[in-house]
Amino acid sequence: MRSFTPSPLHFLNDLPKPNDVCESPSSALVIYDSYHEQNSSFVKWLNLFGQSYSVQAGEDLKDILNFPNHVHKISEKISNKSRKALTVIAVGGGSVGDFAGFFASTYKRGVPLVHIPTTWLAAIDSAHGGKTALNIGGAKNQVGSFHFAEKIFICKNFFKTGFNQGQESSAPGVGELIKTALLAGSSLWTQLGSYSSLNLEAWWELLPKAIPVKYNIVSQDPFEDTSVRQVLNLGHSFGHILEKVFDWSHGECVLQGLYFCTAWSQHRGYLDLQLAKEIEHYLQNHSHKKTEVVSQKLSINEAKRLLLSDKKINKSQELDFVFLKKLGQPYVESVSVNSFMDELLRQGWLK
């Protein structure tokens, strides 16, 4: 049986010292979001490592058709480095982490990986759990691997500039934060609701409590050999459809997916009406697409096509959907594609 050890997690104000990141910084490869080149402190830190490779964050980076060209360019930089001497360091958001993680998992059959997430979404979700993935033909995360980071560093200074631009800068991570609180139960949910705004300090206090929730679930099913880890997909089946059709942020789409899940769970009698209303009210307060959601509609054929490409479609051609019974009690049930489409229609999402 494959072994699993949670990635050591470090919360820092500034960037970590190179020797803390890996044993041999001169042999490391830093794959980073080019956005950070405007930060002189980051550039100075970057130069302390052996090699670096700049990428532009986004879904194009994860397109499998673009991957061979990147691999060719990277291999030219590190062709003289042995497998044992190389560590890949991913600095960026979710797309950068997915790309760098997949590269690290496949290059010379796998080299060590370190994550330094620079978005709240990556900091709370994608940097943890060992999943890497690329997209095929617009379908998300169709080719991937499990490759757990040896270390993860969350550096506060990466997020300060973003918060000077206003609350919107944290929005992409809010959906995953709310999802985590729903999975955790009443304690984290209550604490989350106690903040009048999810500013930098609120996030910094919540992250050390939210991240272990994911690791607690992952540790029970690290390689998805059972259905335990599927509960982390709460809000994602519908969220991924919205993400592809409307090009909204992942976090916003997960937030709408949580709303869909809550309404369906209550409609099926799994979730108490009062709690459902409380969850929906909180989701609405943090949605940045309130007006657009009211007017947006999905075509039946497009929604069904994207649903059928979901990795959670099982051998019976049904969807393993995550419902919610109460705070901290998700419930996975196999549902037919038609019943999912009927619920989209009931909630007013279909043209």
CA atoms within 13 A on the CB side of 110: 10
Q: Which domains does the chain have, with CATH numbers?
A: 9-161 (3.40.50.1970), 166-346 (1.20.1090.10)
Residue with tokens 């990466």: 158
pLDDT confidence of residue 197? 81
pLDDT confidence of residue 162? 52
Element holding 57 (H helix, E strand)? none
Residue with tokens 């949670």: 6
pLDDT confidence of residue 161? 61
Please report, for residues 226, 250, 263, 293, 320, the alpha-carbon distance to residue 307 in angstroms, rounded to integers and kept in the order given.
22, 16, 19, 19, 11
pLDDT tens figures, 305-331: 989 887 778 888 899 999 999 999 999
pLDDT tens figures, 174-196: 899 999 999 998 899 999 989 88
Sign of the dihedral through C-alpha 310, 212, 111, 74: positive
Give the list of residues 6+ apart from residue 179 with CB closer than 8 angstroms, or none. Answer: 234, 235, 254, 258
Alpha helix ranges (H) inside the chain? 18-21, 40-46, 67-78, 94-106, 120-121, 157-163, 171-184, 186-193, 200-220, 236-246, 250-267, 273-286, 290-295, 300-308, 337-346
Q: Residues in the chain with pLDDT < 70?
A: 1-3, 82, 161-170, 290-294
Q: How much is the pTM?
A: 0.91
Inter-residue contact 114 to 152 (CB < 8 Å): yes
Strand partners, 324: 330
pLDDT confidence of residue 79? 78
